[in-house]
Chain A
Amino acid sequence: MDVFSLTARACRDLLGSGEVSSTELVELYLDQVERVDDRVGSFLLVDRDGALAQAAAVDATPRDERLPWEGVPIALKDLLCVEGMETTCASRILKGYRPPYDATVVAKLRAAGLIFLGKLNMDEFAMGSSTENSSVQLTRNPWDLERVPGGSSGGSAACVAAAQAPWSLGSDTGGSIRQPASLCGVVGMKPTYGVVSRYGLIAFASSLDQIGPLTRDVRDAAALLDLIAGNDLMDSTSVGLPAPLVMPTRTDLTGLRFGVIREFLGEACEPGVREVFDGAVAAIHAAGGMCEELQLPSVEKGLAAYYIIAPAEASSNLARFDGVRFGHRSEGAVDLIDMYNRTRSEGFGEEVKRRIMIGTYVLSSGYYDAYYTQAQKTRTLIADDFRRAFGRVDYLISPTSPTVAFGIGERTQDPLAMYLSDLCTIPANLAGLPAISIPAGLSHGLPVGLQIIGPHFSEQGLLEAAYAVEQRLGLSALPSIAEAGR
């Protein structure tokens, strides 16, 4: 069985027809992890025993008594709490931390009978765009092992691209699902803020974080989002979807208007990316859709606003890692303040410390208005820009990332260059809008993603449009790891 051809739906069908057992399916993926993960490095933790035990329980249940997705495997970004399973955010400070509870999305997947293969690498506390900020290991792009998979959900994207899991969950604060999905040639979706409960997602920036699916195609994304969406009493900011999602079926785009965000096609955008993007625009035309260029003047300020708001919230969210109740505690401190200082100095990596410092600074009295208040105003302006744009068009499109996957180490010494990776994805987070990245083609053998942004709670329509575009684009090749791993 070719693991690279398997979607999660195909897994479900094979289980449903009895062609494979859940144990066989889980072993198939565990074998693939074994075969390639020493090169790709997606997984921080492989729960072989737990997954096989879960699979055996599924296999012991008669097929007609199983839930639709029962027995299908999945892997989780290492910031989603799973009761009793080490969850570290790829940080030294949470080494050995075993949450006493399941995240709401984890509980939902567990209730639906999905099997957890393990936890996936990421930038420490989701801060980064290359997964190089993991304190544990590098994750390499399955298309070119000398390149990064993107981030922060680099493990989540790479594991789907390398067929180590049929699908995975990631989180997206400024592009952390869509950008790695783009760089690894998979589908990644950030839902409208509030569609998925954040309870049990270890917070980076609470007002921006959303959990979402990374999958091999659009229909799997629809299926996985439907499994995890919903209002949750444990998360006051959650509202769920207006109606359950149905499988997208749309194949033409007649009558739909797409706005091309001009600000994202500037000099930061690589020519190769631009070329693939133009091809996508042509495909939309061919499918009956209309495209026009639009200006959203405030989105260019998105990056600046984001790098105030996100660190501000993070500086507070990460204050609880103080060595008192869980995680790392430095030995040999002489008093309380010394214990705090040592624990946090040893436990956090450079990028996390940088953002805690920025966030602490912008919230300080005397600077709050100049930074935080201004950033919130900018956020409102960006939301207004989008609202106006959605008065003219149904969806907005842009490249997901201005560049293809870059070389390992290429941007680690230049935070600003790294931050630019999320130029096109950040505004959707600031405005709370749903956005999806789908593979649009290759540039010099590397995947390029197309981002489609919709109005609030337009998930169903957005998935329909993405499905229709996907029918005309798609990737013509498999990642190099597929050849090497076979």
Chain B
Amino acid sequence: MTCSHKPSWFLAVLCAFAAAVPALAHHSFAAEFDAKKCSEITGVLTSVDWQNPHAYIYVDVKSAAGAAESVTFQLSSISNLRRGGMERKNMIDNFGKAVTVRGCAAKNGEKNRYAASFIKFPDGKIYRLGQDVEGLFGTNN
């Protein structure tokens, strides 16, 4: 009697472990952004899309010609940003102010589109915004 139950008990435990493996559902940074083309971009923070699966911030950067271009930065999910201490309110409080963002350029050649890793606000505070691909503000390079 006990023996005939053994295989199903074993299977149940095995299945429970299998189900506990975290779902690796995130897509790849490397597919969309080039970790070798990272730089610091300074400009005026104008707006945010604080949403899932990716939040976005928009920064007006003065081009060489002097005109202001809007640069798009892709961030992590809302919960991941929260883990780094970054909330929507932090961004809104800094609208119209000069910020420095460390970002890696988009691969498809699209201009003014980056994946952000860190941001520095005027008060000097630094927050993580996305995947840390090269250390704090590129310190691993």
Asked if chains A and B come from one complex, the reply is no
B residues in contact (CB < 8 Å) with A: none
A residues in contact (CB < 8 Å) with B: none
